[in-house]
Every structure is written in C-alpha cells, then in structure tokens.
Homo-oligomer: A and B are copies of this chain.
C-alpha cells in the first residue's frame, strides 16, 4: 500500500468549475472566504481511533467526523458523541475491510449482501472487488443498514461520505443510491466538482429524480498521500493551509494513537497506519495548526452548517 490506487487519485484533482463558490455564499460567507471542514475519518474502526478523534474534536480544530458502522467499535462512537454537545458525526459509508487481522462483515449481513462479502464472510479489502461483485441493490441495502445501525447507536448523521471512496469509484448506481438516501435524510453527501462533472453529468439519466441543483458541492477534498507522509505531515499540512484557495473545502485526516491496538489493526500496512494517524493527531491538536488557520484567515465550518443550506 505504498501508493494510492490510481482510481483514488481522481478525487484530488484541481476543481474544473467554480460552482461550489455559490455554496460559500449560501452559507453566509463571501466568494473570497476560505472555508474548511477538518474531518476525522474512520471513527468506530477501533478504540484508539475513537479516543483520538473525540479528543481532537474537543480540542477544537477538528470540526467533524464520520463513523464506520460495520466495525466492532462503532457503539463506542454513540457513547463518546454524547460528551460533545452538537457533535458533527456523519456516516462513513463502508464497503471494505482493509485490515489483515481485524475484520468485520457487512452490516446488512453476509447472506443479504453476498456481493459485499469475501470467502471468509468479511468485506473485501479494496474497492475493485466491490465494484466487480456488489450489485447496486446490495450497496443500497448496505447503506440503509449502516444508517439504521448508526441510529440504533444514538447517532443521527449530519452527513454521508465514503470510506476509501468506493461509492465514487464503483458503479455510478452506487453514487445514485448515496445521493438519493442523503436527500431522503435531508443531509449533505460529500461530493466535489470532479464527481459532479466526471460521473454525474455524463450519466444524467441515471440520476433522474435526484435534485442535482440542491447538492452542496465541495471545491477541494484534500488528503495526504504516502509521499506526503514520507516528506513529513507537518510540511504537507502547512503547505495546504498556507495555500488554501477561496471556496468550501474538506480536509480528510485520520486520527488515532500510535499504540499497541492501532499497530495491530494496521499490521502489514505502511500507509494510513498507526504512526500516520498519530502524526495527524499531533498536528491537528497543535498550536502551530491553530496559528496557521488564524494567520491564513481560514474559517472552520461543519457539515451541519452545510446541511442547513438544503
């Protein structure tokens, strides 16, 4: 896992249009404002991830998170979320289980969604086998099962997004279910201009019935890749915060501790692993990050605020 898969890089291209600038105005800001959600992905995956993510949310720079429902520690998210009034917790729609020794089956149950299940009864480790095996109906059932599961754990999601981007890089029908369900729930589902231009517009007939005009579109989704980790996370994030353009952006980070549990969860991986997540935690709870955000006039926002524009 040294490099990001090629299909994943697509998400992080420079935006093609300026459509999302109108989102800033809808939010009550000007077109020149730099608005940023700092988003802790993967909460629920482990106790270490839960503890670090909620600690970072409390410390103030991380403004939002989204939970993985099928993994073993998701109920703890419901418990920890109660400690933060008005916590911004979405659902990190999870179609994969990428870890070697720590596993989960699909939330809907393997016999209900066999196309999301490998020969051991767990989810597949990456998006391509999901695309090859999971029908759009199975993905829709699984998304609904994850939302129901989150509700049962006390979470009313503020938004939807996609673990490892499998919703975006799979069949466009997956994306249709994701947008349709978000509109039913009256919450935003993370999409950027590339997804609008590259997947939705060329398949317009498929998205009939979905109010495309009403979808809040993010300008840039920013995430470190393995080369950025090699050069140092502080350098990467300093550059990103310093050069942030006007518009509405999401910075995807992964917060956990470099501890025994997280090293065991991520065993055999050399990216998105325990020390990577500790580096994210260290930076986004640091004075340096706070100063950079202030100095560069970056306004931190939440998915809940975006949800109010719907």
Contacts and interface: CB of A to CB of B under 8 A. Distances in A.
A271 B305 CA distance: 44
Interface in A79-118: 79, 100-105, 107, 109-112
The number of times this chain is found in the oligomer is 2
Tell me the interface secondary structure of chain A in the complex. Answer: loop
B120 A102 contact: no
A73 B46 CA distance: 11
A103 to B, nearest CB: 6
Contacts of A105: 105, 109
A152 interface: yes
B101 A120 contact: no
Contact of A152 (B110, B119, B260): B119
27 contacts: A47-B102, A47-B261, A47-B264, A48-B260, A51-B260, A71-B72, A72-B72, A72-B103, A72-B104, A73-B102, A75-B100, A75-B101, A75-B102, A75-B103, A75-B120, A76-B101, A105-B109, A107-B121, A109-B109, A109-B110, A109-B111, A111-B111, A119-B152, A121-B149, A121-B152, A259-B260, A260-B260
Interface of A: 47-48, 51, 71-76, 79, 100-105, 107, 109-112, 119-121, 149, 152-153, 259-261, 264-265
